């Protein structure tokens, strides 16, 4: 007999795996659109550290002269991205699953300890539930970014009808830049996420497909599941 | 909220893993298949048919939030650029006789109103300084002057024609053409434009008369208007035929 823990509810697994190809198509079609006015760069004055993107990048991926195709893809798949994301968020709220993902009071401090641990500077991980503090922060940030993606996207899609939104985001050109920056952040998240999943191994990865993880027979080292979320010492006033 | 632990047999773990992996594989195959299927679909006006339906559905959805009272943000003269970008010259052939130009308003077959620049300039002038947005993604604050299309319609008693769904505009050489919904044409910032930065339109900006319509991408701001007409079917549109959205509404 073996011990397992049901880690990811079925719904979350579907949201996750639907989002993966849809976000990939959104970023891909976004690149097809961006190429037509690929003006962003990292640098100052005349100094450019990184151009978004070098010519070779566009050529290697065959991105050039596909603006119409990019727009038709982007404005189709945006619906799936938006609906999947919003339903996911509502699911988090109503299933109370958010309690395992949103950061709590300890998360900021503890995420440092997690990072130090991952960099092999610190030996032990702080006690955690489903996710450690760094994961809570990262996953919550990515949810917020998802919302910002929808908002900045809407602002550049309908800057006249939604002029209040466009103005709120700093105007048309800023909203476009923000939309682009969030894409880069998504991509950076993706890189770290994949590296961490590779590092965590099969049991963890399988969990996102089957929902469960097997636990070692020895109970002492498995994912600690504290009774509740509250700090041990509670102040007397409530 | 916590996760439940269970003690199970190795067979349970194996079976659940197999079932999940099977569903997962089907999902992956389904996604790849759907993508390949999409790219095998026939093209409709230059766009893959399902995506064309998507664009048209978006027109329906976002057309419903369109309000003629929503204005594009306006700016001051000082904000406007002096060097206005020129993009594209379709419909701007060299053999254009400016002296002979007249605006043709096609009211019905055989009933065309011919207007000179002097006729148009008699109407009150409206200036628009707004962020001109190209479908390519760049934008520029530009300053234009001309006659509100809604004033024009009223003055020439085209109200009934403008009740139709669309206006079609064509360059004199028929090389460039756009179709625009009349709700957008009748917007207070839509002008038949003859001035840029307080001077007559330069040749490459559509002298003598062009359209400025801030609720649309630049592709709809047709330069050098030859004729305009009204219809209930989508008039021919140059970039629509090349895979772009017909509506292009902002």
pLDDT in tens, chain B (250 residues): 567 888 888 899 999 999 999 999 999 999 999 999 999 999 999 999 999 999 999 999 999 999 999 999 999 999 999 999 999 889 988 889 999 999 999 999 999 999 999 999 999 999 999 999 999 999 999 999 999 999 999 999 999 999 999 999 999 999 999 999 999 999 999 999 999 999 999 999 999 999 999 999 999 999 999 999 999 999 999 999 999 999 999 9
Q: Which pLDDT tens digit goes with each residue over A70-91?
A: 999 999 999 999 999 999 999 9
Alpha carbon distance B234, B217 (integer Å)? 17
Q: How far apart are CA B197 and CA B192, in angstroms?
A: 15
Find the CB nearest B136 among A36, A161, A206: A36
pLDDT of residue B27: 97
Mean model confidence pLDDT for chain A:
88
For residue A115, give how far its alpha carbon lies from the nearest alpha carbon of chain B (Å): 24
Asked whether residue A5 carries a pLDDT value surpassing 60, the answer given is yes
Residue A105 touches partner B, C-beta closer than 8 Å: no
Supply the pLDDT for residue B2.
64
Transcribe B64-92 into DSSP letters.
TT--TTPPPPB--GGGS-SS------TT-
Q: Is B2 within 8 Å of A171 when comparing Cβ atoms?
A: no
- Residue A25 neighbours by CB under 8 Å, 6+ apart: A73, A77, B35
User: Which residues does chain B have within 8 Å of residue A206's beta carbon, measured at their own beta carbons?
Assistant: 17, 20
- Select the residue from A39, A67, A76 to test the B interface by mutation, using most B Cβ atoms within 10 A: A76
Q: Is the pLDDT of residue A236 over 60?
A: no
Cis peptide before B24 (omega within 30 of 0): no
Q: What is the pLDDT of residues A25-67, one digit of tens each?
A: 999 999 999 999 989 999 888 888 899 998 999 999 999 999 9
From the candidates A40, A82, A101, A160, which should be mutated to test the interface with B, based on the most B CB atoms within 10 A? Answer: A160
Chain B: closest CA distance from residue A75 (Å):
7
The predicted pLDDT at position B23 comes to 96
Main-chain phi, psi angles of B131, to 5 degrees: -85, 100
Which has the closest alpha carbon to B107: B147, B45, B153? B153
pLDDT greater than 60 at residue A168: yes
pLDDT band (50, 70, 90) for residue A233: very low
Partners of A96 on chain B (C-beta within 8 Å) are 1
| Ranges assigned E (strand) in A16-82 | 41-44, 47-51
B24, B50, B73 ranked by CB distance to A209: nearest? B24
Above 90 in pLDDT, residue A150? Answer: yes
pLDDT at A220 over 60: no
Using an 8 Å CB-CB cutoff, list chain A residues near B243: 68-69, 72
Distance between CA atoms of A11 and A94, rounded to whole angstroms? 12
Q: What is the DSSP letter of B11?
A: H
Task: Assess whether pLDDT exceeds 70 at residue A175.
Answer: yes
Instruction: Give the nearest partner residue to A210 out of B16, B46, B249, using CB atoms.
Output: B16
A146 closest CA partner among A81, A77, A71, A79:
A81
- DSSP annotation of B213: -
Task: Give the residue carrying structure tokens 């760069």.
Answer: A41
Confidence of residue A223 (pLDDT cuts 50, 70, 90): low
Q: What is the structure's pLDDT at A2? A: 86
- Identify the pLDDT of residue A127: 78
Cβ within 8 Å, pair B133-A215: no
Neighbours of A39 (CB within 10 A): 13
Over residues A166-171, mean pLDDT: 96
């Amino acid at each position: 007999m073996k011990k397992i823990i049901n880690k990811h509810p079925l719904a979350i697994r579907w949201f996750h795996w639907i989002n993966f190809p849809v976000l990939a198509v959104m970023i891909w079609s976004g690149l097809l659109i961006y190429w037509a006015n690929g003006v962003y760069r990292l640098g100052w004055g005349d100094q450019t550290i990184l151009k978004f993107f070098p010519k070779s990048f566009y050529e290697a991926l065959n991105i050039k002269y596909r603006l119409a195709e990019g727009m038709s893809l982007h404005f189709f798949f945006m619906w799936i991205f938006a609906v999947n994301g919003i339903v996911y968020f509502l699911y988090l709220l109503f299933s109370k699953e958010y309690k395992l993902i949103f950061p709590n009071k300890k998360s900021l401090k503890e995420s440092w300890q997690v990072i130090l641990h991952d960099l092999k500077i610190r030996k032990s991980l702080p006690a955690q539930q489903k996710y450690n503090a760094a994961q809570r922060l990262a996953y919550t940030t990515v949810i917020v970014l998802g919302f910002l993606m929808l908002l900045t996207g809407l602002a550049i899609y309908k800057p006249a009808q939604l002029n209040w939104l466009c103005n709120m985001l700093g105007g048309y050109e800023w909203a476009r830049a923000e939309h682009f920056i969030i894409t880069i952040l998504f991509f950076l998240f993706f890189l770290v996420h994949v590296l961490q999943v590779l590092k965590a191994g099969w049991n963890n990865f399988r969990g996102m497909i089957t929902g469960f993880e097997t636990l070692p027979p020895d109970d002492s080292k498995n994912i600690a599941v504290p009774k509740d979320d509250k700090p041990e010492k509670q102040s007397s006033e409530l | 909220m916590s996760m439940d632990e269970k003690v199970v047999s190795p067979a349970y773990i194996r079976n659940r893993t197999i079932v999940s992996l099977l569903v997962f594989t089907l999902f992956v195959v389904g996604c790849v298949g759907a993508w390949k299927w999409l790219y095998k679909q026939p093209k409709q006006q230059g766009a893959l048919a399902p995506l064309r339906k998507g664009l048209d559905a978006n027109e329906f959805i976002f057309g419903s939030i369109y309000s003629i009272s929503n204005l594009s943000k306006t700016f001051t003269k000082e904000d406007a650029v002096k060097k206005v970008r020129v993009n594209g010259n379709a419909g701007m052939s060299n053999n254009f006789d400016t002296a002979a130009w007249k605006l043709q308003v096609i009211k019905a077959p055989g009933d065309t109103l011919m207007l000179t620049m002097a006729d148009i300039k008699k109407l009150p002038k409206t200036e628009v300084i707004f962020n001109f947005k190209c479908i390519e993604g760049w934008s520029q604050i530009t300053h234009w002057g001309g006659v509100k299309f809604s004033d024009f319609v009223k003055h020439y008693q085209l109200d009934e024609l403008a009740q139709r769904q669309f206006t079609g505009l064509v360059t004199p050489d028929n090389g460039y053409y756009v179709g625009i919904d009349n709700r957008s044409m009748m917007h207070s910032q839509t002008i038949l434009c003859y001035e840029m930065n307080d001077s007559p339109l330069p040749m490459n900006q559509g002298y003598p008369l062009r359209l400025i319509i801030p609720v649309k991408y630049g592709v709809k701001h047709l330069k050098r208007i030859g004729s305009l007409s009204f219809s209930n079917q989508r008039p021919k549109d140059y970039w629509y035929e090349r895979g772009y959205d017909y509506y292009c509404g902002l």
